[in-house]
């Protein structure tokens, strides 16, 4: 099959979260299964710093208000970028993609991100035609307008829209539409972009794509309910026959404690003693002594991730001798609260507010438990990475967390979204720490098959069904 995979972030180019990991691992896994996959990605100006070996892959005039917009395509394809990897085609338009924060509004322009990704979507339609894609795989709101432009530009190629997080919707004032060449009759409730008085990219993707998928079976069910549907539950429920839940994998080439160069001492399921050495090394790095269990957090610090439960539980955790290290960035209020805690309890709490791949890996490897008490979680990669590194996760049983962590077997789970329920699960983890089942649980975690092979086969079956009109 010839699949165009459109995404706003992909490892190793740009990453804010799990979407970037998926956008590397899934296309590569499909390539390994013999498919032709082309990743199409915006060329953000800051990618200049990455010094990628790119070639100019041509220019195109994209239909755009006021005539046409010229975009340039840059390609990793020509020189066989890296063996076994899906090639990437970048869409370059300096006026639209010269930004620090691609998803955010700029100081003076609330519509900037809308214009940016609208142009990206229309370029995707252009490339799908030129490349002869049989199917277009879309990901989250930045790609939501592709099926709309495909209708305008009369491209019949079928589309699959994957939901990685319903919390990000790309809703803009309807005044954006004339600026991006969307006729006003698309501003309608059924099968259009209208969403509570806004022009919503997510709405367009959800209502106009041929099929929908999301990244875990549990989340596929949850988003059909008001608590998780973020306003789209009705639409998703009515399309439930088209909605598929396929669990993400993790890239086991990239996340491998036996080969990870960022981990001081590599280890596998048969050499857990080496994991202990990483722990000791990490404790030293953090300035902690070795008298209690070490909890680690690697996460965006946003409400979704249940950071509140951790903050509300800090006193109780410290009282029970826990050491806790947090790596993440996000909301100021969480960063401030964690910074204060680290200052007040330097021997128990450490916090780092930056994106740091190396430290993340040392935390996954050296921690005793990984905390991920999310309010909602489409799939979650952190808990799967932690399992692979033999660090049992303590998670709220929601979405993909419920689908990947078995309570008392491959981690610990709690149901109620309260600090008390979180502490109860933590209590059970502390009880098991270094107890009779401790190493057995870590080994069970490490033995889980989280590779993309299985998930890629499920996507392949879904693509087949779409192409054969089933």
Q: Which residues bind ligand ADP (CB under 6 A)?
A: 17-18, 21, 298-300, 327-329, 355-357, 360, 379-382, 385
Residues in contact with 437: Cβ distance below 8 Å, sequence separation at least 6, in sequence order: none
Residue placing its CB nearer to ligand ADP in the complex, 293 or 400: 400
* H or E stretch covering 467: helix 452-467
Residue placing its CB nearer to ligand ADP in the complex, 118 or 360: 360
Which residue sits closest to ligand ADP, CB atoms considered? Answer: 18
Cβ 381 to ligand ADP shortest distance, Å: 4
Q: How far apart are CA 117 and CA 112, in angstroms?
A: 9
Alpha-carbon distances of 101 from 4, 8, 49, 112, 119, rounded to whole Å: 25, 12, 15, 11, 17
- Helix/strand/coil percentages in the chain, nearest 5: 40, 20, 40
Give the number of other CB atoms < 10 A from CB of residue 226.
9
Q: How far apart are CA 183 and CA 307, in angstroms?
A: 42
165 burial level (CB within 10 Å; 0-12, 13-18, 19+): buried
Cβ 265 to ligand ADP shortest distance, Å: 20
Cβ 389 to ligand ADP shortest distance, Å: 11
Residue placing its CB nearer to ligand ADP in the complex, 22 or 426: 22
Residue placing its CB nearer to ligand ADP in the complex, 69 or 325: 325
Cβ 5 to ligand ADP shortest distance, Å: 17
Residue placing its CB nearer to ligand ADP in the complex, 171 or 248: 248
The tokens for 171 are 């809703």
Q: How far apart are CA 26 and CA 145, in angstroms?
A: 22
Residue placing its CB nearer to ligand ADP in the complex, 6 or 128: 6
Q: How far apart are CA 4 and CA 30, in angstroms?
A: 11
Cβ 353 to ligand ADP shortest distance, Å: 8
Cβ 382 to ligand ADP shortest distance, Å: 4
Residue placing its CB nearer to ligand ADP in the complex, 193 or 307: 307
* H or E stretch covering 229: helix 226-229
Cβ 346 to ligand ADP shortest distance, Å: 20
- Closest C-alpha among 199, 190, 237, 53 to residue 118: 199
- Per-residue burial over 54-69, b if 16 or more Cβ lie within 10 Å, else e, is beebeebebebeeeeb
Cβ 81 to ligand ADP shortest distance, Å: 22
Cβ 171 to ligand ADP shortest distance, Å: 19
Do 7 and 41 meet the contact criterion of CB atoms below 8 Å apart?
yes
Alpha-carbon distances of 49 from 24, 45, 54, rounded to whole Å: 20, 8, 13
Residue placing its CB nearer to ligand ADP in the complex, 17 or 174: 17
The tokens for 52 are 């990628």
Cβ 321 to ligand ADP shortest distance, Å: 26
DSSP single-letter state for residue 68 = E
Partnered with residue 327 across adjacent β-strands are 298, 352
Residue placing its CB nearer to ligand ADP in the complex, 285 or 357: 357
Q: How far apart are CA 205 and CA 201, in angstroms?
A: 6
Residue placing its CB nearer to ligand ADP in the complex, 122 or 164: 164
Cβ 29 to ligand ADP shortest distance, Å: 17
Partnered with residue 360 across adjacent β-strands are none
Residue placing its CB nearer to ligand ADP in the complex, 73 or 161: 161
């Amino acid at each position: 099959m010839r699949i165009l995979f459109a995404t706003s972030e992909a490892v190793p180019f740009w990453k804010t979260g799990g979407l970037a990991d998926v956008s590397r691992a899934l296309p590569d896994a499909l390539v390994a299964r013999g498919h032709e996959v082309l990743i199409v990605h915006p060329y953000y100006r800051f990618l200049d710093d990455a010094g990628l070996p790119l070639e100019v892959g041509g220019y195109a005039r994209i239909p755009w208000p006021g005539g046409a917009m010229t975009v340039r395509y840059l390609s990793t394809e020509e020189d066989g970028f890296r063996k076994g990897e899906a090639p990437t085609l970048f869409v370059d338009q300096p006026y639209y993609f010269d930004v620090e924060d691609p998803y955010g509004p700029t100081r003076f322009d609330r519509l900037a991100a809308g214009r940016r990704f609208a142009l990206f979507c229309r370029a995707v339609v252009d490339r799908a035609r030129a490349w002869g894609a049989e199917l277009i795989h879309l990901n989250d709101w930045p790609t939501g307008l592709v099926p709309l432009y495909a209708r305008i530009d009369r491209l019949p190629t079928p589309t699959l829209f994957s939901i990685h997080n319903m919390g990000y919707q790309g809703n803009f004032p309807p005044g954006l539409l004339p600026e991006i060449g969307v006729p006003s009759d698309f501003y309608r409730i059924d099968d259009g972009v209208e969403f509570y008085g806004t022009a919503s990219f997510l709405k367009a993707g959800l209502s106009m794509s041929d099929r929908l998928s999301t990244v875990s079976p549990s989340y596929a069910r949850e988003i059909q309910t008001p608590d998780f549907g973020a306003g789209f539950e009705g639409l998703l429920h009515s399309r439930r026959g088209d909605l598929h839940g396929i669990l993400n994998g993790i890239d086991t080439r990239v996340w491998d404690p036996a080969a990870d160069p960022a981990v001081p001492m590599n280890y596998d399921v048969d050499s857990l003693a080496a994991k202990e050495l990483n722990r000791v090394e990490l404790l030293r790095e953090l300035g902690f002594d070795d008298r209690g269990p070490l909890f680690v957090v690697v996460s965006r610090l946003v409400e979704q991730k249940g950071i509140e439960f951790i903050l509300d539980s800090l006193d109780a955790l410290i009282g029970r001798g826990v050491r806790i290290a947090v790596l993440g960035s996000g909301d100021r209020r969480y960063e401030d609260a964690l910074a204060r805690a680290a200052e007040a309890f330097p021997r128990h709490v450490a916090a780092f507010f930056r994106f740091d791949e190396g430290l993340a890996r040392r935390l996954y490897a050296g921690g005793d438990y990984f905390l991920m008490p999310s309010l909602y979680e489409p799939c979650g990669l952190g808990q799967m990475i932690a399992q692979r590194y033999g660090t049992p996760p303590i998670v709220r049983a929601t979405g993909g967390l419920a689908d990947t962590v078995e309570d008392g077997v491959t981690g610990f789970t709690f149901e109620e979204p309260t600090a008390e329920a979180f502490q109860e699960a933590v209590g059970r983890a502390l009880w098991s720490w270094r107890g009779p089942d401790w190493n057995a649980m870590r080994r069970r975690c490490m033995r889980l098959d989280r590779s993309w092979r299985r998930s890629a086969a499920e996507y392949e079956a879904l693509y087949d069904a779409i192409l054969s009109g089933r």
